[in-house]
C-alpha cells in the first residue's frame, strides 16, 4: 500500500469552506492535493497557501456540472501526480425559496452541480481509483436524510447523491474501492450566502447564527479519519444524529418540528403559508 506521502486527493469545490479545509487536512498528512474551483484567483490563492505550508498542490479551474470540464479535472490530476487515491465530491450549491416560486429551473441548476457533478467526477476518476483501491467521498447533508422546507432542490440533490453512492458502494465491493457518505450539520461556510432565491440569484445573507455552526475544520478531520479507517457513513453533530434517528422512529413529529424551526427563520419563505 502506498505511503501517505505518495497519495493524491482530488477535492471539488475546494477554494473555500469544507472543501478547502479538507484539502489542508489531507495536505498536512502528506497527501498531494488537487484543488478545484470556478474562479482562478481563488484557486491560485489556495494553492499558494498550501505550498507555503510545504504541501504539494495543483489547482484546476473546472465547473464540475459540465461533463467535459469534470473529465478535464480528473485528467489534470493524473497528469500532475500520476494517480488518484481519493476523490471528494464536495462542490455544491443550496437554495432558499418555495418550490412554487422557484420552479424547475432552480432545481435543475442545483441538481447539475450537486448531483451530476458527483456523477461526472466519479465516473472519470473510477478507473484510477480502482488501480489504487482508493476512496470516493460524497459530502452530503442532513438534508439528504430529511427533506427541508424551502430547500426542495437541495434536499433532492442530496437524497439523490446518497442513493447513488450507496448503490455504488455495494457495486464496487469486489474492487476494493470504498465509498463514504459524509453528512455535516449546519457548518459555517458561504453556502447559505450563495443559496439561490426564487429569482436564481444568491441570497447574500444567512438565516442562522453562523457563530453557533460547526467549523469546516471539524468536518475535514472527520473526513480524513473516515478515509483512513475506510468507514461507510459519517453523520456529524449531535443534532444531525438525533434528526436522522427521529426520521426513522418519529417521522410525523420530526416534520412538525422541522417546519416550526424553519418558519422562524428571518424572512422565512414559509411564512407565506401561514
Instruction: List residues with catalytic annotation.
Output: 154
What sign does the dihedral 132-22-168-243 (CA atoms) show?
positive
Question: What CA–CA distance (Å, rounded) separates 209 from 166?
Answer: 32
* CA 145/CA 248 separation, integer angstroms: 10
Q: Distance between alpha carbon 155 and the CA centroid of its chain, in Å? A: 13
Q: Which three cell numbers stand for residue 103?
A: 420552479
* Alpha-carbon torsion, ordered 249, 252, 257, 263, to 10 deg: 150
Q: Which residues contact 217 (CB under 8 A, 6 or more apart)?
A: 21, 25
> What are the φ and ψ backbone dihedral angles of 233, each rounded to 5 degrees?
-155, 140
- Is residue 87 within 8 A of residue 144, CB to CB? The reply is no
Which of 87, 101, 80 has its CA nearest to residue 26? 87
Amino acid at each position: 500500500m502506498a505511503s501517505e506521502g505518495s497519495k493524491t486527493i482530488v477535492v471539488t469545490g475546494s477554494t473555500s469552506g469544507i472543501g478547502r479545509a479538507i484539502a489542508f487536512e489531507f495536505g498536512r498528512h502528506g497527501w498531494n492535493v488537487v484543488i478545484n474551483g470556478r474562479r482562478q484567483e481563488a484557486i491560485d490563492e489556495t494553492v499558494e497557501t498550501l505550498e507555503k505550508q510545504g504541501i504539494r498542490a495543483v489547482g484546476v479551474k473546472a465547473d464540475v456540472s459540465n461533463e467535459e470540464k469534470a473529465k478535464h479535472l480528473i485528467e489534470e490530476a493524473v497528469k500532475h501526480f500520476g494517480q488518484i487515491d481519493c476523490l471528494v465530491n464536495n462542490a455544491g450549491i443550496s437554495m432558499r425559496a418555495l418550490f412554487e416560486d422557484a420552479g424547475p429551473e432552480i432545481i435543475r441548476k442545483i441538481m447539475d452541480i450537486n448531483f451530476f457533478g458527483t456523477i461526472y467526477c466519479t465516473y472519470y476518476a473510477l478507473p484510477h481509483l480502482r488501480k489504487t483501491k482508493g476512496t470516493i467521498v460524497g459530502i452530503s447533508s442532513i438534508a439528504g436524510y430529511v427533506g427541508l422546507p424551502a430547500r426542495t432542490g437541495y434536499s433532492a440533490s442530496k437524497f439523490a447523491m446518497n442513493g447513488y453512492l450507496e448503490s455504488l458502494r455495494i457495486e464496487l465491493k469486489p474492487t476494493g474501492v470504498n465509498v463514504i457518505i459524509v453528512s455535516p450539520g449546519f457548518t459555517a461556510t458561504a453556502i447559505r450566502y450563495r443559496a439561490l432565491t426564487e429569482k436564481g440569484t444568491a441570497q447574500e445573507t444567512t438565516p442562522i447564527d453562523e457563530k453557533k455552526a460547526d467549523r469546516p475544520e471539524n468536518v475535514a478531520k472527520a473526513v480524513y479519519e473516515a478515509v483512513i479507517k475506510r468507514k461507510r457513513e459519517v453523520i456529524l453533530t449531535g443534532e444531525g444524529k438525533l434528526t436522522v434517528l427521529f426520521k426513522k422512529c418519529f417521522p410525523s413529529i420530526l416534520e412538525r418540528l422541522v417546519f416550526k424551526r424553519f418558519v422562524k427563520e428571518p424572512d422565512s419563505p414559509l411564512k407565506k403559508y401561514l
